[in-house]
Structure 1
Amino acid sequence: MEHKEDKKRNKGGRPKKGATEKLKYRVAVKLAAADYFRLLTQAHEAGVSPSEYMRECFRNGHVKERVSEEHAGHIRQLCGMANNLNQLAHKANAGGFSEVRWDCKVAVARIHELISKTGI
């Protein structure tokens, strides 16, 4: 009886991939030196491995570049500011807009500054 319970118990670790998710086929491609180094350069610029770059090209016809660390930091700051604006909106609804007017102006100015930095 104990052995059956042990088999049902989750042992942890990463779940097994399904048959459609496994990368089990290998394709050999011969490239000229210029093409090979172009592949390495473009994969590096996109922030992915050459194999992943080729898979993305095959799936989508193009490779989407990863978000840079700088942009990721700006996005995190914008999320925090959005949370602050929500708190100010709740405060304004509860106690009147005149109490939080200056705080709202400051928050909007900081958000505008971050958006202009990211180039959105």
Structure 2
Amino acid sequence: TEKLKYRIAVKMTAADYFRLLTRSHEAGVSPSEYMRECFRNGHVKERLSEEHAGYIRQLCGMANNLNQLARKANAGGFHDERWDCKVAVARIHELITKIGI
């Protein structure tokens, strides 16, 4: 096996530290080996890109518009807002497709 020659320091909360100790003990390995295995086999969720964050903001705005349309529809009938709702739903589907949800 390859010699381990690099060392890094990791800060963690007490809860995370004790979770690491518990899980490494349950797995029968050292905390260092447990973290190495997590690094090799684990998965970290990516942060949202600026592009995706923009899509989320657009979706929030559309949700607000749909809420306003729903209030209008509840107050005075649905027929006048039907086209606006269809357009909003189509834009939402388009953004969801771009985001990849």
The TM-score by the shorter chain falls in which range? 0.5 to 0.7
Q: Deviation digits for residues 58-112 of structure 1, max 9, x if unmatched?
A: 4xx4432211111111011001100100000000000100010010011001001
When residues 51 and 115 of structure 1 are mapped into structure 2, their CA distance, relative to the original with a 3 A threshold, is farther
- The aligned residue for residue 30 of structure 1 is 5
Unaligned runs of 5+ residues in structure 2 are: 17-33
Higher relative contact order (CA 8 A, sep 6+): 2
- The aligned residue for residue 112 of structure 1 is 93
Query: How many residues end up aligned between the 2 structures?
Result: 71
SS in 1 for 2:46: coil
TM superposition score normalised by structure 1:
0.51
Q: What's the C-alpha RMSD, in Å, of the aligned pairs? A: 2.8
Which 4+ runs in 1 deviate beyond 6 A?
Answer: 54-57
**Partner residue of 1:71 out of 29, 41, 52:** 52
Unaligned runs of 5+ residues in structure 1 are: 1-28, 32-49
Matches within 5 A, 1:1-120: 30-31=5-6, 58=35, 61=38, 62=42, 63-120=44-101
